[in-house]
Amino acid sequence: MLSKNEYIKMNELSLIKLILDASLLVQMVMLLLLFISLYSWTLIFYKSNYLKNVHKTVNNFEELFWKSKDLNVLYRHIRSNKIVGIEKIFMAGYAEFLKSRTDGKISTTNTKRVMQITLRREIDELESELATLATVGSVSPYIGLFGTVWGIMNSFHALEDQQQITLAMIAPGISEALIATAMGLFVAIPAVMAYNHYTDDIDRIITSYDIFLDEFLTMLYSTRP
């Protein structure tokens, strides 16, 4: 009786053998899916780290903003650092507010417009790479399925001169082809899960940006003479 380790090792060898015995086109499909998977996971880890930093920036800035008693001090402090996300919205809005006040024509309309433009740019930055993950999630199964169909066709063509066809003769070729479908799903599922998770995460960040924009404008309105 085989031990558990021997059984696992035998299955691994069988899987490798099936991949090596697959037709050239099926192997190319598998290689393509492997590259797509590596690229997808790179995006997933990058986006995860990026959104964590954005959340941290939002929390830190909001705490600093509501504790600050002088927006001029906060403005000078933030301007000396590398600004991202919600900080850019504040900087753009307050800079425009100061400019209008210097000109003697305080207009929160222009301030709101500038902040909304900055907000849209930040949303574009937040949503970057999401389309790629969505594409990977939707296309990868079909790429795998293409490899499977091609592999099954080759298996049947190889048996066209046989007088009697048995399941044992067909099974290896079909098994080789089905690996492509499995790889397609292996690539697609993490991409879809990451896309859904990041979309929800980004929606909450955008909501935070919108709330801050409205609160900041209300604060500026109250400072008008």
- Both tokens assigned to 7: 């059984």
* Model confidence, pTM: 0.78
Q: How many CB atoms lie within 10 A of CB 76?
A: 10
Per-residue pLDDT, 160: 59
Q: What is the pLDDT of residue 7?
A: 44
Which pLDDT does position 106 carry in this prediction?
A: 62
Q: Which two tokens stand for residue 73?
A: 């001090």
How much is the pLDDT for 107?
Answer: 65
Q: What is the pLDDT along the chain (225 residues), one digit of tens a residue?
A: 445 554 444 444 465 666 666 667 777 888 899 999 999 999 999 999 999 999 998 998 988 888 887 888 888 888 777 788 888 999 988 888 888 777 666 667 788 899 999 999 999 999 988 999 999 999 999 988 888 787 777 666 655 565 555 555 555 567 677 788 888 999 999 999 999 999 999 999 999 999 999 888 888 877 554
- Break the chain into its structural domains and give their ranges: 21-222
Q: Looking at residue 46, what is its pLDDT?
A: 94
Q: What is the pLDDT of residue 134?
A: 94
Query: What pLDDT shows up at residue 207?
Result: 93
The answer for residues whose C-beta is within 8 angstroms of residue 183's C-beta and 6 or more apart is 30, 33, 34, 37, 144, 147
